[in-house]
A and B are shown apart, each in its own frame.
Chain A
């Protein structure tokens, strides 16, 4: 953070306005970045951060306003022009060709060639190795994208920009998909880049990371400029308040509740993944009423398969799942939801949680449409459905209130509210929540946590699966650590500390 050269402004965006029809996504936003600076662009989901950066990268053309790069007015009509001005962007959803190698992805569009337009892959791999060496971005140039980790894929994206001579690098939500150790690596990479005089703009809503890496921070809210602050001089609390527009509580307040009866027992469960590997491999677990049991672990240790087995979406190889004393190992999803009252907030809310093309009201009755009052003799009663939906929208604060809107038009946080509303109003005995706050901003996260705790306070059993250790520690009453398909340690929420769980998550013993 000492490498900022204040005499040199690399990017200035002045009073940039971007309208889509009648909707103003960016309303006179200004942003200045110096050489060697890490600049955070902070805002809630849908605040217009990505839109602003897409203007800088030439994916959108601003309706009004001036963009200067290195002191000169520029018109960035497409990404090629942006690249020409030394601007590179790493999108939140990587734009990588899966069956291609790392080197092929990096040089694509600017391939080194020999005569007859023949590719010179040896030269490409040499250049890739050279840049990756220089900035400490370790990749295997010959590996296929589909075979490497998400963290490596991100490094490939950064290398793509550097290969094209980027001096200004825009990172869109770079940590959203990374594990804690990968985040540390990314921070080292960012330091290496700024010490070489590069400027970094990082789009994020994670305050913790802003404090870690950024020098300055521009905050926007609902498309308008709120403030520009020096990160060292503000607290996370202040940043959050500026972003959301109200005070946000970070610590989750929980009342003491006595653990209830046993709700669910998982006994020596084995479940295979799509490749036929035993992803859940002899897992034991007990879940009690009036508790939140957190499952901590690194992604890919069998969490998804465990949840799919619990919800009847995946065949159980061996072992048993008992609801009190009732064997539900081979129950169908409808039996599990309807008869056994186990509901879930799925990991992928857009694929499994919602039918995006359906409207909000239809999504709210996905599990109950076949019963009165929503349908009689196979005919839906729209009056009842929309009355119920409006009630849910009010109770669960789904915005906008219009339940006739398609689910896909809602923000991530509100989509999650629709799912929570549906599952909670189904009055389950057990609620399984997989990654319920993934991709949500602080306001929405606070909401989800409150909802989970409320369920627990009402005597329900809650199983919370999350890759975010902070979330598990804050919310769960007991913490089970999953590693290679087994629970390898159970800790009480009070006695849990990050280091100990971290060690278990990596397969060590506590």
Chain B
């Protein structure tokens, strides 16, 4: 019985850990798409963020500095995406694809320069801390490896992700800024005719999405694991994008979707650890297969913001 309870706790714990990077990126996706700009470049932004986060954390020894710089790295790609799509009305999908190549390209290029030709960083001296251990001391609040410890004693990024979902929900639905952002995504001409700057709102939203995707990358490279490697971010940005759609373009919905994916990952690791007689390669596909099944089976039709992907032309003035 004890082991069963602990097994459940282990799965929940891994679920939370693996969901976290996705939650950051998916909430970023919600914010940009709610303003009407598609960002399929989340993957590249996560990738770049994962590298910069690990690299800065390695050299500075400060995981929080790495985390923040990862956000800036993602935001810089977000800025490029905004310049292309908002200022120059570029096709949003094409620009997003370019961001994916750029993110990977920048990360590997700089990695080779800085880490002697390697496409991975060295192990960071300090990962993102576990706040419960930090506050109460290791093993003080909950018994080590007990149920509560396995579930709740998680990296700070896990807690931040949940706080982020709440903040994003609050801003989007309870503040005037959020209402304007949603209005811009639904009907930019209407917003414009009421003196709301579509330009500023969209720039803000796209850059924010890049920032959050960057944080998501770092939540992978300096919390879940302790270094960046070239296969660390493999489709997570796209999974986050799917989670955003599954979550019907709402932060709380995206959270749920990310937890489902994370749960599949948790199951995969658990089954791997238990030596379930399924080839590990096949087991590794579980989260992806499950995501597809759930997307197809449950989501049905969800309504995207009306102006999404469309070019807003302010017209001659």
Q: Per a CB cutoff under 8 Å, which of A60, A97, A113 touches B187?
A: A97
Chain B hits for A79, CB < 8 A: 192-195
Partner-contacting stretch, out of B3-11, B75-83, B177-185: B177-185
Number of residues on chain A facing chain B (CB within 8 A): 29
A/B interface sample: 11 pairs, CB < 8 A? A78-B317, A95-B187, A96-B187, A97-B186, A97-B190, A97-B191, A99-B306, A104-B179, A109-B180, A116-B175, A117-B176
Are A118's CB and B175's CB within 8 A?
A: yes
Q: Please, which residues of chain A bring their CB within 8 A of the CB of B140?
A: none
Binding site for A on B (CB under 8 A): 174-177, 179-180, 182-183, 186-187, 189-196, 303, 306, 315-317
Cβ of B190: which chain A residues have Cβ within 8 Å of it? 95-97, 105, 108
Q: Is A286 an interface residue (CB 8 A)?
A: no
Which residues of the partner chain B approach A116 to less than 8 Å between Cβ atoms? 175
> Interface majority SS on A: helix, strand, loop or mixed?
loop
Given contacts A79-B193, A97-B190, A99-B186, contact A111 B176 (CB under 8 A): yes
A residues engaging B (CB < 8 A)?
A: 20, 59-61, 77-80, 83, 89, 91, 95-100, 104-105, 108-111, 113, 116-119, 160
Q: How far is the CB of A131 from chain B (nearest CB, A)?
A: 16
Number of A-B contacts (CB under 8 A): 70
Also in contact, A59 and B195, with CB within 8 A (given A97-B187, A108-B190, A119-B179): no
Q: Is the CB of B176 within 8 A of A20?
A: no
Chain A residues within an 8 Å CB radius of B174:
118-119
Cα distance A298–B316 in the bound complex, in angstroms:
38
For B315, list chain A residues within 8 Å (CB): 59
Q: How far is the CA of A373 from the CA of B183 in the complex (A)?
A: 52
What residues on B are CB-neighbors of A108 within 8 Å? 179-180, 183, 190-191, 194, 196
Report the minimal beta-carbon distance from B63 to chain A, rounded to whole angstroms. 30
By a CB distance below 8 angstroms, the chain A residues around B306 are 98-99
Q: Please determine whether B191 and A117 come into contact, CB atoms closer than 8 angstroms.
A: no
Docked pose: A117 CA to B174 CA in angstroms: 8
Which chain B residue has the least Cβ–Cβ distance from A112? B176
Q: Is the CB of B179 within 8 A of A111?
A: yes
Query: What is the CA–CA distance of A25 and B187 in the complex, to the nearest angstrom?
Result: 27
Complex Cα distance, B305 from A98, in Å, reads 10
Assembled-state Cα–Cα distance A98/B196 (Å) = 17
| Chain A residues within an 8 Å CB radius of B177 | 117
In the assembled complex, the Cα of A100 lies from the Cα of B180 at a distance in Å of: 11
Using Cβ atoms and an 8 Å threshold, which residues of chain B touch A104? 179
Enumerate chain A residues within 8 angstroms of B176, measured Cβ to Cβ.
111, 113, 117, 119
| Contact among B195, B316, B317 for A109, CB-based, below 8 A | B195
Max count, chain B CB within 10 A of own CB: residue among A98, A100, A109, A118: A109
Kindly list 14 other residue pairs between chains A and B, CB separation below 8 angstroms, not including A109-B194, A111-B179: A60-B316, A77-B317, A96-B187, A97-B190, A97-B191, A98-B186, A99-B306, A105-B190, A108-B183, A109-B195, A111-B176, A117-B177, A119-B174, A119-B179
Q: Which residue of A lies closest to B190 (CB)?
A: A95
What are the residues of chain B within 8 A of A95 when measuring CB–CB? Answer: 187, 189-190, 193
Question: What separation, in Å, do the CA atoms of A427 and B189 have in the docked complex?
Answer: 43
Find chain A residues with CB under 8 A from B179 CB. 100, 104, 108, 111, 119
Bound: A345/B255 CA distance, A = 50
User: How distant is A103 from chain B, measured CB to nearest CB, in Å?
Assistant: 11
Contact between chains at B196 and A20 (CB < 8 Å): no
Cβ-defined contact, B317 with A60, below 8 A: yes
Q: Are B316 and A20 in contact (CB under 8 A)?
A: yes
Residues on B with beta carbons closer than 8 Å to the beta carbon of A61? 317
A452 to B317, CA, bound (A): 42
Q: Which residues on B sit within 8 Å (CB–CB) of A98? A: 186-187, 306
Q: Is the pair B183, A97 in contact by a Cβ cutoff of 8 Å? A: yes
- Distance between A320 CB and nearest chain B CB, rounded to angstroms: 34
With A and B bound together, what is the CA distance between A116 and B180 in angstroms?
A: 15
**In the complex, are the beta carbons of B187 and A119 less than 8 A apart?**
no
- Chain A residues in 8 Å Cβ range of B194: 79, 108-110, 160
Shortest beta-carbon distance from B101 to chain A in Å: 32
Query: Which B residues are in CB contact (< 8 Å) with A20?
Result: 316
Max chain A C-beta neighbours (<10 A), residue from B175, B177, B306:
B175
Q: Give the complex CA separation of A491 and B306 in angstroms.
A: 44
